[in-house]
Chain A
Amino acid sequence: DTGVSQDPRHKITKRGQNVTFRCDPISEHNRLYWYRQTLGQGPEFLTYFQNEAQLEKSRLLSDRFSAERPKGSFSTLEIQRTEQGDSAMYLCATRTGGLHTEAFFGQGTRLTVV
């Protein structure tokens, strides 16, 4: 257990429904990242927060995706109008600031869109 908590661990939803995932970071970690991992591939960067500010978004993050970190602690990732192509593992990673620090990953949320 890295100390980064993600909820739920698994989510099955029907196409067209909205889903929301939550990530609770290690308490002193001010930087938070969301990644998406599809079968047979490595994680792909989606977005990055420093405290409550969303500093970078990947072009993978379509208009149906939104992420928030309202108080600089936990973060949510919402997918609206889910599509089958959204089926993937969504991973959250957090780290402290500074150059030589590594990110700690949560166990991920496995999304299946049927």
Chain B
Amino acid sequence: AQSVTQPDIHITVSEGASLELRCNYSYGATPYLFWYVQSPGQGLQLLLKYFSGDTLVQGIKGFEAEFKRSQSSFNLRKPSVHWSDAAEYFCAVGAGNAGKSTFGDGTTLTVKP
């Protein structure tokens, strides 16, 4: 069975500082991996995705993530955080053509001025 672990429930960073959100997955085959962002009371917006190929993927809003098969990780990074990045972030692993995803429990990001 596939699973996703986001070890950090809550992270606080100062505006302008760098950010890394951790994600570890368990999946038997080559995973499809996603990062989503969710603002309060809203649906999920896709930040970036990994299906195959280059293990460093670029997303929207200046985010990037790196797939490391040996560590079963797909960590999200941003070099300089903006106050508008404060939200909840979810990592997900997808199951091939069926497309359903298994999500982690999320990391809440707070940005200090």
**Footprint of B on A, CB under 8 Å?**
2, 4, 6, 31, 33, 40-45, 48, 55-56, 91, 93, 95, 97-108, 110
Contacts and interface: CB of A to CB of B under 8 A. Distances in A.
B100 A107 contact: no
Contact of A42 (B46, B99, B103): B103
User: What is the interface residue range for chain B against chain A?
Assistant: 20 to 34
B25 interface: no
B101 A105 contact: no
B41 A110 contact: yes
11 contacts: A2-B43, A6-B43, A43-B44, A43-B90, A48-B99, A56-B100, A95-B99, A99-B97, A103-B46, A105-B43, A106-B43
The listed residue with most B CB atoms (<10 A of its CB), out of A43, A98, A107, is A43
A91 B44 contact: yes
Contacts of A95: 99
B97 to A, nearest CB: 6
Interface string B72-108: 0000000000000000001010001111111111100
Contact of B43 (A40, A48, A102, A107): A107
B99 A105 contact: no
A33 to B, nearest CB: 6
Contacts of B67: none
